[in-house]
A = this chain, B = another copy of it.
Amino acid sequence: MTEGLRERKKLATRQALHLAALQLVAERGLDAVSVDDIAERAQVSSRTFFNYFPSKVDAVVGLDPTTPFQVSSDFSARPATESPVQALRAVQRARAQEMAEEEELWPLRMTVIDAHPSLVQRLIAAFGEAELALAEAIAERTGTRVGVDVYPTLLAAVQGCAMRISLQRWVATDFTASLPDLVDEAWDALAAGLPAPPRAAT
């Protein structure tokens, strides 16, 4: 079934390290947790920790390095009849759905991340890594050129903002809101050109 003992052990160790990091930081805060602490709880040496994650913050955030690039390949897989904005909204909705379904993992993850600026920064950086790839996919679809036109680069960047703000609001509602709905709200505002919302009658 799974591809060999070795692969399974590696995955287990990785998850153990991520979970340990997450729990410890939730308990004590980022600064009060050392790499040694995390390694100890995950039952490996601190040297081994660095075989899995390049830094403490990476272990806490715990994203698979390939995850960010999923967005650009998902985008390319959307029907060509959709506008870029429609396609990105759909991609993010789907992603949001997946996150919301992992009820154990993502809320804990986001709670911890949201409480520490350096973790938020790392999460944003993770989005940023795939920005060029996504910009190229957008350029491809729209006949624009990365490095010449604003459009692909800007849209790729704004897409990251939309997801970030949606996640932030999800945390703020204590995960009572529907993440896909929050994503939709953000894209509604973006697609409309960010007009000042009508003032609610009081």
Chain A residues proximal to chain B, CB less than 8 Å? 83-85, 117, 120-121, 124-125, 128, 141-144, 147, 149-151, 153-155, 157-158, 160-162, 164-165, 168-169, 172, 182, 185-186, 189-197, 199-200
Given contacts A121-B121, A154-B165, A169-B153, contact A85 B193 (CB under 8 A): yes
The majority secondary structure among interface residues of chain A is helix
Given contacts A124-B124, A142-B199, contact A194 B149 (CB under 8 A): no
When distances are taken between beta carbons in the complex, the residues of chain B under 8 Å from A147 are: 169, 172
* Shortest CB distance A15–B (Å): 26
Q: List 11 A-B contacts (CB under 8 A).
A: A83-B195, A83-B196, A117-B125, A117-B128, A120-B128, A147-B172, A149-B197, A150-B165, A154-B161, A190-B193, A191-B193
Q: Do residues B164 and A157 form an inter-chain contact, with CB atoms below 8 A?
A: yes
Q: Which of B120, B150, B164, B190 contacts A185 (CB 8 A)?
A: B150
Q: Which 6 A-B pairs have the closest CB atoms?
A: A193-B193, A157-B161, A143-B199, A142-B196, A191-B193, A150-B185
When distances are taken between beta carbons in the complex, the residues of chain B under 8 Å from A158 are: 158, 161, 190, 194
When distances are taken between beta carbons in the complex, the residues of chain B under 8 Å from A141 are: 196
When distances are taken between beta carbons in the complex, the residues of chain B under 8 Å from A200 are: 143
Given contacts A164-B157, A165-B157, A200-B143, contact A194 B85 (CB under 8 A): yes
* Shortest CB distance A29–B (Å): 18
A189 to B153, CA, bound (A): 11
When distances are taken between beta carbons in the complex, the residues of chain B under 8 Å from A165 are: 150, 153-154, 157
A84 to B195, CA, bound (A): 8
A151 to B196, CA, bound (A): 8
* Shortest CB distance A194–B (Å): 5
Most central of A150, A151, A165, A192 by chain B CB within 10 Å:
A150
When distances are taken between beta carbons in the complex, the residues of chain B under 8 Å from A117 are: 125, 128
